[in-house]
Amino acid sequence: MTPAPGRLTIDLGALAANWRDLARRVAPARCAAVIKANAYGLGIEVAAPALYATGCRVFFVAHRCEGARARAATGEDACIYVLNGLEPNAEPDADYAALGLAPVIGAAEELARWSALAAKFAAPPPFALHLDTGMNRLGFASLADLLAAIERHGARGADLLMSHFVASEEPSNPLNAAQIARLAQARAALPHLAAALANSSGLFLPEAPFLDLVRPGVALYGGNPTPGLANPMRTVVTLEIPIQQTRWIEAGESCGYNSQWTAPRRTRLATLLAGYADGLPRSAGAVEGRAGAEVFISGRRCPLVGRVSMDLCIADVTDLAEDVVRPGALGEFFGPNIPLDDFARRSGTIGYHLLTGLGLRYQRVVLPDPAI
């Protein structure tokens, strides 16, 4: 099937370089890779082999189905943790062991199920224990609850103790130190387990909470783990959309659904061939009283205006020479000239949301890692 005209370029060399940079930063701790949400929109079958080839051997996914894809895309020596744990009402749990997947166990009921399965193996399959240190989302609610569950059900095969930062992108947030201390207490109680806490932003905290294993996600894909500072990561994803049509409107005329933006001057508009069905935020365009995102066309940033519609969006290209803005010319929505997080912020969302919501209609161009 022929794809829609939008072009999504994925630079596997930049992806691999980002992992190598982070691995060097945290050594001697090990550096994993989070490839959940279809590898943040890039595709597990695209990203996982590139990360494996550059040396990554520990991966995190969210669901068992993602784990199966990750296993098929990596080698037998890859360790794959399933962050959301054992799925409720999903049998058999033995599928995890058969696929070589390590669930992240965060409740006594899950530990009982997994221990019952592990008892059938001479060498129990590996798994991780999740202690909630402040997120109040998943994980054992306290160290006391975790230790009580281990005493009751055992923990044969456990090889990792982990938790998750609440606000590591805010270096001055006191929750960071509190969570580090809570996990340190648990680590002292379970010294035989490796420990992991740091996500992408956690790798740049002054406390350097690398422990035994780190698990970057969005930073691998080019998102900025240090908001407010220069992005230390390479650009991995570039989204370019062609112009379909241009037109002039007079001052006082509007564009887009519900007339949410009115031209303050005689304005030239360019309509581009992507919309919210392709993962663009509906709020990316400027409306009355609020600026929107910008796209890079012919060497200049141009504001998106009006509501983004299902398959189209509109840019104000008045300040560009008329002869350089024509049907077929490409607008960069994010990439080397428009940072991912900049486009996301101006659209009222975050880079995670943009990447994981990338539409299926784009032509995907994968640039190989030149080091492989």
Catalytic residue annotation: 36, 257
How many Cβ atoms sit within 10 Å of the Cβ of residue 63? 16
Widest pairwise Cα distance in the chain: 78
How many Cβ atoms sit within 10 Å of the Cβ of residue 54? 20
Encoding tokens for residue 84? 């959301």
What CA–CA distance (Å, rounded) separates 340 from 224? Answer: 8
What three-state secondary structure class fits 86? coil
> Would you give the end-to-end CA distance of the chain in angstroms?
30
Query: Torsions phi, psi of 144, nearest 5?
Result: -60, -45
What CA–CA distance (Å, rounded) separates 118 from 157? Answer: 8
Quickly list H helices, the chain.
12-26, 36-40, 44-53, 64-73, 94-99, 108-118, 143-153, 174-189, 340-346, 351-356
